[in-house]
Structure 1
């Protein structure tokens, strides 16, 4: 009669693959998702706090985008139609269209502020005529920092006013204007705008927490599998020797 006992004997290949490669990878991905969740939580708290503040009047005073992101601004000046762009592939209620980006030259200044005036529908897959006043106006809107998509497609800045996305760097290179480091999403009650149903939901952290749990579970599974493969039954080894 043989008594089965287990002996801990780590094997080189499972140790290398499961313990030294997969486990650190899964743990790092899990902590990265926790960090992303914290970033979303911080952004959401900042958004809620700043949206409750009274409108800030834009002036020549230098200001960073991070300081006033999500703040409501009030600005006076004149639109510059020559610097107007249309951002393509924007949908509203399932219909294709464009976002209208128009620079506003501040009153008594040479600085410009880009205004997203909202959504306009495409006409037979072509942009419609855009009415842009040239006289003095005052409008308000929430600050926004545009960013390129995850996969940034190259396009010619100088051959068309139809752009797939907006970045401030590209706009400066194209227009040569001195612009503020943010864009205003024009408020629905401000004049001379178009369709303005801006997303206002609180950034969610739940997705990142779910991904973190998933990666940590994969790490735990890798550790459990490595432990299982590292245990050897001594009775099986004895039997194998006796059969030789």
Structure 2
């Protein structure tokens, strides 16, 4: 029940923050928790040399990659990772990515990428596309001072690719279902205990009467 309430509160927070106007991201310190699910606007310069592709991403059933490009925030030494969207594979290989180097202004929703349930180790220095993205892996590989989140670039923001982001909404139903199951197990256990107790009491009474 507590987990269901947490999911309910998270869904409410997501909905409220997504309705807020875009927030201008500057060089000031920021908190990932306070900005989660917010739409941000940021100006800076891409660093093409430290761009990474994330493999095994599909769009409309076609194989491709997500393009992750670091953006050096204007007036700061900090960097923000931008998921610029999906690009199709060319003969099962990554395509050539066009990345501007002039000052750009982008917008997108904040996101904190997480590893898959089974996190397999891989060579960060291998030039091949990574199987998944985590901020820790990228920080170790690049040596950049990066913010504790990325942004999923908005569809109407320039210099991106195919951006069809799923609007995740936490569901409470699964946790309520688990709660009902455990309450049912508890009730059945109680009924079984009472029945066995009454059966033993009846046997004891009968034994006393026969003595």
Separation in 1, partners of 2:183, 2:131: 37
TM-fit CA distance, 1:35? 2.2
Which residue of 142, 145, 165 corresponds with 2:109?
Answer: 142
Aligned to 2:45: 78
TM-fit CA distance, 1:79? 0.7
Structure whose CA Rg is larger: 1
Task: Count matched residues.
Answer: 207
The answer to whether residue 140 in structure 2 is matched with residue 153 in structure 1 is no
Unaligned residue ranges in structure 1 (runs of 5+): 1-33
The answer to whether residue 70 in structure 2 is matched with residue 106 in structure 1 is no
Contact 1:99 1:117 in 2 (8 A): yes
1:181 aligned counterpart, secondary structure: strand
Contact 1:84 1:161 in 2 (8 A): no
Which residue of 221, 229, 233 corresponds with 2:188?
Answer: 221
> Comparing 149-158 with 61-70, which one deviates more in the overlay?
149-158
Contact 2:27 2:74 in 1 (8 A): no
Which residue of 25, 43, 66 corresponds with 2:10?
Answer: 43
2:76 aligned counterpart, secondary structure: coil
More RCO (CA 8 Å, sep 6+): 1
Q: 1:88 to 1:236 in 2, by over 3 A?
A: farther
Separation in 1, partners of 2:191, 2:116: 39
The answer to whether residue 131 in structure 2 is matched with residue 164 in structure 1 is yes
- 1:125-140 mapped onto 2 (5 Å cutoff): 125-140=92-107
Aligned to 2:203: 234
TM-score scaled by length of structure 2:
0.90
Q: 1:81 to 1:216 in 2, by over 3 A?
A: same
Which residue of 54, 68, 72 corresponds with 2:21?
Answer: 54
Unaligned residue ranges in structure 2 (runs of 5+): none
TM-fit CA distance, 1:237? 6.5
Q: 1:94 to 1:159 in 2, by over 3 A?
A: same
TM-fit CA distance, 1:228? 2.9
Aligned to 1:212: 179
RMSD (CA atoms)? 2.0
TM-fit CA distance, 1:160? 3.1
TM-fit CA distance, 1:211? 1.8
Contact 1:76 1:139 in 2 (8 A): yes
TM-fit CA distance, 1:92? 1.6
